C-alpha cells in the first residue's frame, strides 16, 4: 500500500512518535509510507530513519490552494489511504483525499482532541473518516464526549514498541529512576519530586533523570532545589535517543494525570524497566500482570507514589532483574512493534478494500 501520514501539529507528541514507529515498520513490511509535516524535529527524525518525509506549508483551513496541493501529491504518489491526526490535517489533506475518493483515517491521540462543534461535525460528515485509537479508554471517552461518535465507530489498535534486543542483565547502584514525559503541569512531576524527597529523608539512595522540556521546567527545577534534591537529579533536556537513556536506568516513573496510551511508558517497558505509574488513561490496558502494587489509583498523592517507589528501590538485584525481565517479555509477547504494525496494516488494507468496493 501507498500510505500517506499527514500531521500539521507543531509539537513532537504521542501521535508523531506512533507515526514514526509505524511508518518505519510498515516500510520494513513492504509498504510505502510517506510523511507530510511541518519542518522540525519530527520531520528530521523521519528522514534520519530513511523515510520519505516532505516539509509542508499547510496554510489556511479548507484553503483551495492547500487542498489542491494535497490532491496533486496524492495523485502523483498513487496514494491508497491517508492517515491524519487532528484539525488542520483533516481540513486540508482529508478534504483532498475525500475529493479523490481515497479513504481517510483519523488517528486520535486523546479523547478530547475532537470537539463536538458544528465545524467538527460538518467536517466529519463530509470526510466520513475511519477513527483509530490506541486504547479502549479513548474509544469509550470519545463516544461519551461526541454526539456523532459511538464506540463501534472507533477501531482500537494498541501502540507497539520494539523490545530491546535482550532482557536486562544489570542493575545500577544506586538505583536509577527515570521519567521521560514533557515537563508540563499535567504530567505530575511535582508529585514525583515530593515523593523522592520523602525517600531521600528516609535514607534511600537513588538517582533520578528528568528527560524533556516543558512549561513547568523552571518551576520543577526550583522545587527540586528547595527539596534538597539537587545532587540526586539530572535534567538532560530534550534527548534525541531516549531509548539509550532508558537502557541505563532501572525504574520508570509515570506520575501523569493526563494520558491516552503513553508512548513513554511503552518505550520504558520495551527496555525492561520496572514501571511505577498512576492508573490514568489506557495505562492499565498495557500493564504487565503481577505488578499491580506499582500501578497506583488515579487520585494517589505523593505518599502513595513514595511507597511504590520505595518498594521498587528496595528490591535486591536478583528480584529487580527478574521483575524487569518479566516486563520486557510482556512487551515482546503482547505489544511488540511488528505485531501491532501487522495488525494496523491488515486493518488499513480492509479499509481500502471496503472503499474500493463502495461499502
Query: Do 137 and 32 share a structural domain?
Result: yes
Residues 275 and 193: their CA atoms lie apart, in Å, by 17
Percent of the chain scored above 90 by pLDDT?
A: 87
Is the predicted pLDDT of residue 182 greater than 70, yes or no? yes
In a domain, 281, yes or no: yes
- Mean pLDDT along residues 220-246: 95
In a domain, 219, yes or no: yes
Query: Do 351 and 214 share a structural domain?
Result: no
- Mean pLDDT along residues 19-42: 96
Query: Do 229 and 123 share a structural domain?
Result: no
The pLDDT value recorded for residue 154 is: 96
Query: Do 348 and 248 share a structural domain?
Result: no
**Which of 119-128, 157-166, 285-294 shows the lowest mean pLDDT across its residues?**
119-128
Question: Between the CA of residue 4 and those of 73, 76, 236, what are the distances in Å?
Answer: 10, 12, 34
Query: Do 279 and 223 share a structural domain?
Result: yes
Higher pLDDT among residues 115 and 341, named by residue: 341
Query: Do 181 and 136 share a structural domain?
Result: no
Query: Do 144 and 243 share a structural domain?
Result: no
Query: Do 194 and 104 share a structural domain?
Result: no
Q: What is the pTM of this model?
A: 0.91
Provide the domain limits for residue 37. Answer: 2-160+337-356
In a domain, 18, yes or no: yes
Residues 350 and 23: their CA atoms lie apart, in Å, by 18
Q: How confident is the model at residue 159 (pLDDT cuts 50, 70, 90)?
A: very high
The pLDDT value recorded for residue 109 is: 85
**184 Cβ neighbours under 8 A, 6+ residues apart:** 214, 215, 216
Query: What is the average pLDDT score of the chain?
Result: 95
In a domain, 51, yes or no: yes
The pLDDT value recorded for residue 12 is: 81
Percent of the chain scored above 70 by pLDDT?
A: 100
What angle (nearest 5°) sits at the alpha carbon of residue 140, between those of residues 35 and 344?
A: 35
* CATH number for position 240: 3.40.50.2000
- Mean pLDDT along residues 275-282: 96
- CB count within 10 Å of CB 294 equals 20
Query: Do 205 and 118 share a structural domain?
Result: no
In a domain, 169, yes or no: no
Q: How many CA atoms lie within 13 A of 279 on its CB side?
A: 15
Query: Do 127 and 268 share a structural domain?
Result: no
Judge whether 344 and 22 are in contact, CB under 8 Å: yes
The pLDDT value recorded for residue 186 is: 93
In a domain, 259, yes or no: yes
Name the domain count of the chain. 2
- Mean pLDDT along residues 289-296: 97
What angle (nearest 5°) sits at the alpha carbon of residue 352, between those of residues 348 and 357?
A: 145
Query: Do 193 and 92 share a structural domain?
Result: no
In a domain, 97, yes or no: yes
In a domain, 191, yes or no: yes
What angle (nearest 5°) sits at the alpha carbon of residue 227, between those of residues 225 and 231?
A: 55
Is the predicted pLDDT of residue 359 greater than 70, yes or no? no
Closest by CA position to 183, among listed 246, 278, 274, 255: 255
Is the predicted pLDDT of residue 240 greater than 90, yes or no? no
- Mean pLDDT along residues 74-78: 98
Instruction: Express each pLDDT in 49-60 by its tens digit.
Output: 999 999 999 999
Query: Do 345 and 300 share a structural domain?
Result: no
**Which of 98-112, 190-204, 294-308 shows the lowest mean pLDDT across its residues?**
98-112
The pLDDT value recorded for residue 101 is: 96
> What distance lies between CA 257 and its chain's CA centroid?
15
Amino acid at each position: 500500500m501507498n500510505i500517506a501520514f499527514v500531521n500539521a501539529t507543531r509539537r513532537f507528541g504521542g501521535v508523531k512518535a506512533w507515526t514514526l514507529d509505524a511508518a518505519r515498520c510498515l516500510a520494513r513490511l513492504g509498504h510505502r509510507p510517506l510523511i507530510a509535516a511541518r519542518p522540525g524535529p519530527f520531520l528530521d527524525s523521519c528522514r534520519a530513519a530513511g523515510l520519505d518525509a516532505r516539509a509542508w506549508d499547510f496554510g489556511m483551513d479548507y484553503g483551495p490552494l492547500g487542498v489542491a496541493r494535497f490532491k496533486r501529491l496524492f495523485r502523483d504518489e498513487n496514494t491508497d489511504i491517508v492517515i491524519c491526526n487532528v484539525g488542520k490535517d483533516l481540513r486540508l489533506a482529508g478534504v483532498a483525499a475525500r475529493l479523490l475518493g481515497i479513504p481517510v483515517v483519523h488517528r486520535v491521540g486523546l479523547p478530547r482532541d475532537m470537539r463536538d462543534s458544528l465545524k467538527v461535525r460538518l467536517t466529519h460528515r463530509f470526510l466520513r473518516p475511519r477513527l483509530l485509537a490506541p486504547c479502549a479508554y479513548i474509544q469509550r471517552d470519545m463516544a461519551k464526549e461526541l454526539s456523532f461518535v459511538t464506540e463501534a465507530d472507533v477501531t482500537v489498535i494498541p501502540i507497539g514498541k520494539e523490545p530491546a534486543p535482550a532482557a536486562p542483565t544489570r542493575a545500577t547502584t544506586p538505583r536509577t529512576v527515570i521519567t521521560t514525559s514533557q515537563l508540563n503541569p499535567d504530567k505530575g512531576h511535582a508529585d514525583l519530586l515530593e515523593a523522592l524527597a520523602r525517600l531521600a529523608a528516609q535514607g534511600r539512595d537513588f538517582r533520578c533523570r528528568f528527560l524533556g522540556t516543558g512549561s513547568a521546567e523552571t518551576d520543577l527545577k526550583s522545587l527540586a532545589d528547595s527539596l534538597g534534591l539537587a545532587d540526586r537529579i539530572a535534567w538532560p533536556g530534550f534527548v534525541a535517543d531516549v531509548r539509550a537513556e532508558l537502557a541505563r536506568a532501572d525504574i520508570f516513573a509515570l506520575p501523569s494525570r493526563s494520558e491516552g496510551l503513553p508512548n513513554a511508558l511503552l518505550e520504558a517497558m520495551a527496555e525492561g524497566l520496572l514501571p511505577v505509574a498512576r492508573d490514568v488513561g489506557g495505562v492499565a490496558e498495557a500493564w504487565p500482570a503481577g505488578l499491580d502494587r506499582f500501578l497506583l489509583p488515579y487520585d494517589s498523592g505523593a505518599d502513595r507514589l513514595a511507597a511504590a517507589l520505595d518498594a521498587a528501590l528496595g528490591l535486591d538485584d536478583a528480584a529487580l532483574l527478574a521483575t524487569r525481565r518479566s516486563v520486557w517479555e510482556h512487551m515482546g509477547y503482547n505489544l511488540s512493534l511488528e505485531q501491532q504494525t501487522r495488525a494496523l496494516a491488515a486493518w488499513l488494507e480492509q479499509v481500502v478494500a471496503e472503499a474500493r468496493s463502495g461499502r
